[in-house]
Structure 1
């Protein structure tokens, strides 16, 4: 991650590379899908020309528009990486993916309108359908789209760590403890519920709540002991864990003690962390796949029962689905391009951290620089004893703050 910090006086340690994690991998995956679509396009057009199938030729031409839309995403990845160090980009090239995602969303909206217009026209004026050719072509298109979606969304990283207590599966609030009976996972669980400790055996051996306890030691010297209750497949602390989750936990399992360190790390949430360029590419192929499924259903029903109107209805439903996804993508990417606050939860946490020792947050601006990277301007009214280094240390837990400017005003 790139991180830079400024003082109000203008001292700076700058690095303006705000590309998302796995940027180059996403770039390679997108180019791979483009080559797959291009190869299928050639096969369909040549095959249609040789065998006299207009349906194959039409689907091949459609595949060319599919490859063209993905080309936009690939070029955005390439351009952002190539010009990441170009000083003309004041805050780096991290937003190029959002610009490409916005453009792709507009293209998707136009495609939805065209599909809807054609479907409505066919509803009132049905045309003959060559089922023997159309259905296999629809299945072929579906197969290509499923393969494309798998290539774009597939993640082959599987972390396997070893040691006494460490991160597990990339979760900052899960630790793996190596015991004589096998590995045990300790987690601070707070998915939609108040935070509690959860302890489960990774080796299959059962844990007994009465034999488990956790004592936390915080930086200020305060201690708290947590008793546990049995749950379905794990044990859970009875009382909630107070914020912040920064402490050393002395985990007791039977007669053995295992020290585990938790550090408070605040990452970007929701829209602040999404790679909208990859999201747009995936939505494009999934939308195409959804339309293929609807077309197949419509064609089969029309073939079996003679319901030619089913083909048109399938097209209308597909247009509505694509339009809905397009509207969601336009809303999210335009908010980023207009520098709307991408993570209100983090803004609230920043205010809490700044003001917890009596200082006052006078002004705060948070905006997105790239996937998982946020910029922030923080203005604080404080006592003379709290300098820029003091607040920089307090905000160090917010790992997503990649470009931080701090202004300090003297109280009174």
Structure 2
């Protein structure tokens, strides 16, 4: 048997690894730029017309705000226009992470400048024109809140958690959180739920009658799984009091067609498994996250500035203004560090969450093969790539492994090398 090597599967083979909300996020970012630019022009023009240095200064600050958004917007536009450019070996999905990293560095520099200015004002206080400074800070906060609203969305990642209640043999209620693993069967005698139960126990099938449906006898029910490679397995059941449970465990992966045999009838049900434990970083759009963090940081600084100015005006605590600047700098620096850490790891192809790697290894080795080498890394929001080297005693080819792994959500690009076992 010779070595076999193959790459890709599904739509992911075209190397377009952009996030699902890419175009929507692109539009949002350009809208924020338009808002900030309009505010910038109004403040600079108003400051020049009325001789307000504070207005001009805030207008210039707003220009840096728009500039940071421009990094994100241009990254979205460029990634979309060059998504099919063959020069980008793994697509342009990571361009957003590069933009996010750049924005994070800019945020860190802003934090240092704010801290530097605040420290100078501690030692060399300057007169504060409260009548101008407070209204400008309020207007700046409103603009930032509008920007936060425009950018709000699902850039923090997705969370899946749809519970299905079942009772165990002792009558205790358990929650099953796999939304795609509970199927309803409408039989002649009533409705039943077919589920794969695996909370704290090895996975098993359960057949639960709906309210008002007469329970079935265990020996009158069977379930046969038909996997993508054509292999079949039949499961028999035992009565657990209130529901039937399969005697045999359900092997991974839980992606197959089931033939459910009930008295006098037969039903076909498909199970499609998703990786619900995937880390949020797999689907997070770090470009949008960077834009969001920037406006949140600006809003936080505005809030702190308003508090500091109000207290300074009310009680004469002029030191509250630079203190608010120091606190704001620390908040921005913390957000910047988190963004640099996460985007830097992606740019260096670091696999910070090994659960996907473990998942792939379990599926391959659960079929009797051995994983010789395995690399998993992110190529875009919601898109992972994997390179796998497998040692097998069988005559399996790469398409077998692509089929076995095709159900894993987010695994968009796969390269498989199959090696014959030396023990064969």
Q: Same-fold call, TM > 0.5?
A: yes
Tell me: CA distance 1:72–1:227, structure 2 relative to 1, closer, same or farther (3 Å).
farther
Name the structure 1 match of 2:348. 338
In structure 2, C-alpha distance between the alignment counterparts of 1:142 and 1:314, rounded to whole Å: 15
Contact 2:9 2:412 in 1 (8 A): no
Name the structure 2 match of 1:25. 24
In structure 1, C-alpha distance between the alignment counterparts of 2:195 and 2:56, rounded to whole Å: 55
In structure 1, C-alpha distance between the alignment counterparts of 2:222 and 2:295, rounded to whole Å: 48
Gaps of 5+ in 1: 1-6, 156-170, 180-184, 198-206, 230-236, 251-257
Moved more, 306-315 or 241-250: 241-250
- 2:322 pairs, out of 288, 300, 312, with 312
Name the structure 1 match of 2:86. 87
> 1:218, CA displacement in angstroms?
6.1
Name the structure 1 match of 2:284. 274
- 1:322 pairs, out of 322, 325, 332, with 332
Name the structure 2 match of 1:182. none
**Whose relative contact order is higher, 1 or 2, with alpha carbons under 8 Å and at least 6 apart?**
2
- 1:287 pairs, out of 297, 302, 307, with 297
For residues 37-76 of structure 1, the aligned pairs below 5 Å read: 37-76=36-75
In structure 1, C-alpha distance between the alignment counterparts of 2:109 and 2:414, rounded to whole Å: 39
Contact 2:96 2:286 in 1 (8 A): yes
Q: Give the secondary structure class of the aligned counterpart of 2:379.
A: strand
Q: Give the secondary structure class of the aligned counterpart of 1:398.
A: coil
> 1:266, CA displacement in angstroms?
2.7
**Alpha-carbon displacement from aligned partner over 1:177-220 (angstroms, at most 9, x marks no partner):** 799xxxxx999899x988999xxxxxxxxx9799999x994623
Contact 2:25 2:151 in 1 (8 A): yes
For residues 100-179 of structure 1, the aligned pairs below 5 Å read: 100-154=99-153, 173=180
Contact 2:9 2:414 in 1 (8 A): no
In structure 2, C-alpha distance between the alignment counterparts of 1:368 and 1:59, rounded to whole Å: 39
Q: Give the secondary structure class of the aligned counterpart of 1:93.
A: coil
Tell me: CA distance 1:94–1:43, structure 2 relative to 1, closer, same or farther (3 Å).
same
> 1:386, CA displacement in angstroms?
2.2
> 1:384, CA displacement in angstroms?
2.9
Q: Give the secondary structure class of the aligned counterpart of 1:31.
A: helix
Name the structure 1 match of 2:358. 348
Size of the alignment, in residue pairs? Answer: 366
The higher radius of gyration belongs to 2
Q: Give the secondary structure class of the aligned counterpart of 2:14.
A: coil
> 1:262, CA displacement in angstroms?
3.5
> 1:269, CA displacement in angstroms?
2.6
**Alpha-carbon displacement from aligned partner over 1:120-163 (angstroms, at most 9, x marks no partner):** 111222211111111111111111111101101147xxxxxxxx
In structure 1, C-alpha distance between the alignment counterparts of 2:383 and 2:308, rounded to whole Å: 44
Contact 2:185 2:194 in 1 (8 A): no
In structure 2, C-alpha distance between the alignment counterparts of 1:80 and 1:24, rounded to whole Å: 10
In structure 1, C-alpha distance between the alignment counterparts of 2:43 and 2:215, rounded to whole Å: 64
In structure 2, C-alpha distance between the alignment counterparts of 1:295 and 1:212, rounded to whole Å: 67
> 1:22, CA displacement in angstroms?
1.5
Name the structure 2 match of 1:8. 5
Aligned-pair Cα RMSD in Å? 3.9
Tell me: CA distance 1:269–1:209, structure 2 relative to 1, closer, same or farther (3 Å).
farther
Name the structure 2 match of 1:221. 234
Moved more, 60-69 or 87-96: 87-96
**Alpha-carbon displacement from aligned partner over 1:307-357 (angstroms, at most 9, x marks no partner):** 111111110010001000101110111111111115411100000000002
Q: Give the secondary structure class of the aligned counterpart of 1:21.
A: coil
Q: Runs of 4 or more off by more than 3 Å in structure 1? A: 9-14, 171-179, 185-190, 192-197, 207-213, 215-218, 223-229, 241-250, 258-262
In structure 1, C-alpha distance between the alignment counterparts of 2:322 and 2:371, rounded to whole Å: 58
Tell me: CA distance 1:177–1:50, structure 2 relative to 1, closer, same or farther (3 Å).
farther
Tell me: CA distance 1:262–1:224, structure 2 relative to 1, closer, same or farther (3 Å).
farther
Contact 2:114 2:325 in 1 (8 A): yes
Tell me: CA distance 1:21–1:11, structure 2 relative to 1, closer, same or farther (3 Å).
closer
- 1:362 pairs, out of 362, 366, 372, with 372
In structure 1, C-alpha distance between the alignment counterparts of 2:215 and 2:43, rounded to whole Å: 64
Q: Give the secondary structure class of the aligned counterpart of 1:40.
A: helix
Tell me: CA distance 1:125–1:216, structure 2 relative to 1, closer, same or farther (3 Å).
farther
**Alpha-carbon displacement from aligned partner over 1:289-314 (angstroms, at most 9, x marks no partner):** 01111111111111111111111111
Contact 1:172 1:265 in 2 (8 A): no
TM-score (norm 2): 0.76
Name the structure 1 match of 2:421. 411
Q: Give the secondary structure class of the aligned counterpart of 1:368.
A: strand
In structure 2, C-alpha distance between the alignment counterparts of 1:406 and 1:318, rounded to whole Å: 49
In structure 1, C-alpha distance between the alignment counterparts of 2:317 and 2:292, rounded to whole Å: 32
> 1:399, CA displacement in angstroms?
2.9
